[in-house]
Structure 1
Amino acid sequence: MRLVRGLLVVLLSLCGSGAQEEGFTKVVEIREFQETAPGDTAGDSIGPTTKQTTPDIWAEVRALRDMVVELRVHLQLLQRENSDLQTRLSSGESQLLVSKSRIEQLERENAEKPKVAFYAALTDAGYVGPHNTDTTLKYSKIFTNIGSAYSPATGFFTAPVKGVYYIQFTVCGNHTGLMGVYVYKNNQRIMFNVEWKEDTLYKYFTNSAVLELMAGDEIHLVLPSTYSLYDDRDNHNTFSGALLFPL
C-alpha cells in the first residue's frame, strides 16, 4: 500500500513539472512572437521619432563652451584696454603734476625776481639850455617807475641789484646850434651823442645801451655846456630803462 502511494506521488510530480515546462515554453514562444510580429508597426515608428526629437545635449554643451571661451577672450581684451587706459591716465596725471609744479616754481621765481622799469620825460618848460657848464638832466615827468629805482629829484637811475639793464633815451631840439647828451655810469662817461641844427625845425635822435650793472651803480644823462634841448607837454625828450635779468 505504501509502495503504491509513493509511485502516485512520483507520477504527479512528473506531470506537474512537464506542465510547467510546457507553459514556460508557450510563454517564451508568445513573447518571441510578440517581439517579432509583423503587425507591431507602432513600436517601429516610435523608436526613430524619439531619436529625432531628442536634443543633442553634447552639441549644446560644445556651443556653451565656445561661448564661454569667446566671452573670456573679450573679457581679457577689456581688461587690457582698461589697464592701458589707467596707464595713460596715470601718465597724464603725472604730467599734470609736473606742469603744475613747474608753474608754481616759475611763479615763485617771478615773485622773487626784482622788478625794475622806468620811463620819464624831461619837462614842460620848453627850452633847456644852453648853459655855461655841463648840467645833469632831471627828467621830472614820471610815467613808469616800478621798483622806484629812478629819482626825478636827481635825474639818477640806481641799479637795485646786480644784473643786465637796458637803457634808452631820445633827444630833441628845435633851436639852431648843437644838441646832444652825455651818458654817465657813476662818474664815467660811456657815451656821447651830438647833432648840429641849422634851422628851427624839430630834430630827434634815439640811442640805447645794454649795461651790466652792480647793485648801487648809477646812470644819468648830462647836457653839455652850450648845448640846448626842447621839451613840452608832447614829451620830446625821454629817458627809460629796465632790468633784463639779474646776475
Structure 2
Amino acid sequence: MLQKRTDGLEADVNSLKKENEDLQMRLNATNEETDKGKKSAGNAAPKIAFSTSLSNSGFIYGGPSNVNLKLVFKRVISNIGNGYNPDTGIFTASVKGLYYFTFTTVGCKSYDIRAMLMKNGAHQVSTNDHRSTDSTDSSSNAAALPLDAGDKVHVQLSANSRVFDNRNGYTTFSGFLLFSM
C-alpha cells in the first residue's frame, strides 16, 4: 500500500513538473513578445505635422504673374519634425509613408484663384474659384499622397491668379504623416 501511495505521489510530482515546464514555456514566449513590442514601440514612426499660413504679419497678396508661382508660407503655426521650410515653401518627407495635405486659398475681388498641390514638381490636385462681385472668394482641397523619403510637396499659384492673406491666416497649407510604410 505504501508503494501505491508513493507511486501516486510520484505521478502527481511528474504531472506538476510537466505543467510547470509548460507554464515556463508560455512565460518565455510572452516575455519574447513583450520584448518585440518594446522594440517596435522604440522604432515607431516619427511624429511629422506642419501647419502654415501665407503671411506672418500684415497684408500679403500673391500674384498675379504670367507664370506659375510657388507660394512660400511664412507663418509657421506648427512644424513637428521640421519637414516644412518657411524659406522655400517646400515640405520634404523624412520617411517613406502616406501623408495627408490640405490647402486653402482666399482671393480678392477681380482675380481668379487657382492653386495646385505639387509633388516633386508634378501636379496632384487643384483649387479653383473665379472672380466675382463680392469682396473675397475661397477654395480648398486635400489629398493623401504616398511619399518616399526626400520627396517634396508645395503649393503653386497658377499664372494670372492671386491670393490674399493677413495675420488671420486665410491662405493656408498643412500636412501630416498618416503612417510610415
Report the TM-score, using the length of structure 1 for normalisation: 0.56
Determine the structure 1 residue equivalent to 2:45: 113
Question: Cα offset for 1:108?
Answer: 5.2
Runs of 4+ in 1 over 4 A off after TM superposition: 101-104
Determine the structure 1 residue equivalent to 2:95: 161
Question: Cα offset for 1:112?
Answer: 3.6
Determine the structure 2 residue equivalent to 1:192: 126
Question: Hey, which of these two has a bigger chunk of strand by percent?
Answer: 2
- How many Å separate the matches in 2 of 1:176 and 1:103? 63
- How many Å separate the matches in 2 of 1:106 and 1:204? 47
Stretches of structure 2 that go unaligned for 5 or more consecutive residues are: 1-25
Question: Cα offset for 1:165?
Answer: 0.5
Determine the structure 2 residue equivalent to 1:225: 159
Q: Deviations over 1:204-238 (max 9, x none)?
A: 22211001111111111111111001100100011
Matched ranges for 1:74-223 at <5 A:
105=37, 109=41, 112-123=44-55, 124-223=58-157
For the Cα contact (< 8 Å) 2:54–2:165, is it kept in 1?
A: yes
Question: Hey, which of these two has a bigger chunk of helix by percent?
Answer: 1
SS at match of 1:216: coil
> Which shows bigger deviation, 165-174 or 190-199?
190-199
For the Cα contact (< 8 Å) 1:174–1:199, is it kept in 2?
A: no
2:173 to 236, 239, 245: 239
Stretches of structure 1 that go unaligned for 5 or more consecutive residues are: 1-93
- How many Å separate the matches in 2 of 1:157 and 1:226? 24
- How many Å separate the matches in 2 of 1:110 and 1:133? 47
Choose between structure 1 and 2 for higher RCO, CA contacts under 8 A separated by at least 6 residues: 2
SS at match of 2:112: strand
Report the TM-score, using the length of structure 2 for normalisation: 0.75
Larger radius of gyration: 1
For the Cα contact (< 8 Å) 1:126–1:231, is it kept in 2?
A: yes
Determine the structure 2 residue equivalent to 1:19: none
- How many Å separate the matches in 2 of 1:181 and 1:215? 25
Question: Cα offset for 1:132?
Answer: 2.2
Q: How many residues align?
A: 152
Which amino acid is the alignment partner of residue 195 of structure 1?
D
Report the identity percentage: 32
- How many Å separate the matches in 2 of 1:116 and 1:165? 9
Matched ranges for 1:15-26 at <5 A:
none
Question: Cα offset for 1:183?
Answer: 1.5
SS at match of 2:41: helix
- RMSD of aligned residue pairs (Cα, Å): 2.4
- How many Å separate the matches in 1 of 2:107 and 2:133? 10
